[in-house]
Amino acid sequence: MYIRICTVLLFLLCSASQCKKESLKTLRDKLKGSWKLEYYTGGFTGRGSKLTPGRLSITKFDKVIEWKYEHDTMVSSLPYTVVMHNNQPCIRIKDHQQTINYSIAISHDTLFMQQMDGADMFGEVYTRY
């Protein structure tokens, strides 16, 4: 529970400190590149967890596609856009069945993503890879 509270507070702090006038293009440029998943929270239990040692989960963002890799094997590639949603910068990822919005904040070389839709409200913390 303590870890989840700390993660949420850290995410809110980074979201609040992010410059509101930052353009979506600037945010898109900061997002481009490879990010290593370090920590995730969510699901119906709300528990947080660090990745198992030795597990390598990389997300790469190019201009329009989000690529996910597990141990150098691509597991998905989905189109995304960076948009304003509920007055917050967000990544909108579309698959064949649904569209998912993630609130995002980038601070230094750390990316915070929090699912905005759905009951589970998954959150993820990445570092630049």
Write out pLDDT tens, residues 34-56.
Answer: 999 998 887 666 677 777 766 78
**2-128 under CATH 1.10.10, yes or no:** no
Amino acid at 54: G
Amino acid at 124: E
The answer to whether residue 5 scores a pLDDT higher than 90 is: no
Under 8 Å between Cβ of 31 and 64:
no
Under 8 Å between Cβ of 62 and 80:
no
Give the pair of three-digit tokens for residue 8.
């949420």
* Long-range CB pairs of 106-111, under 8 A, 24+ apart, other chains included: 106/18, 106/27, 106/30, 106/31, 107/14, 107/17, 107/18, 110/14, 111/31, 111/35
What is the maximal distance between C-alpha atoms in the chain? 39
Q: Can you count the helices (H) and strands (E) in the chain?
A: 2, 9
Domain ranges of the chain: 2-128
Q: Give me the pLDDT at residue 21, please.
A: 47
Write out pLDDT tens, residues 66-123.
Answer: 888 888 889 889 999 999 988 888 999 988 888 889 999 999 899 999 888 766 678 8
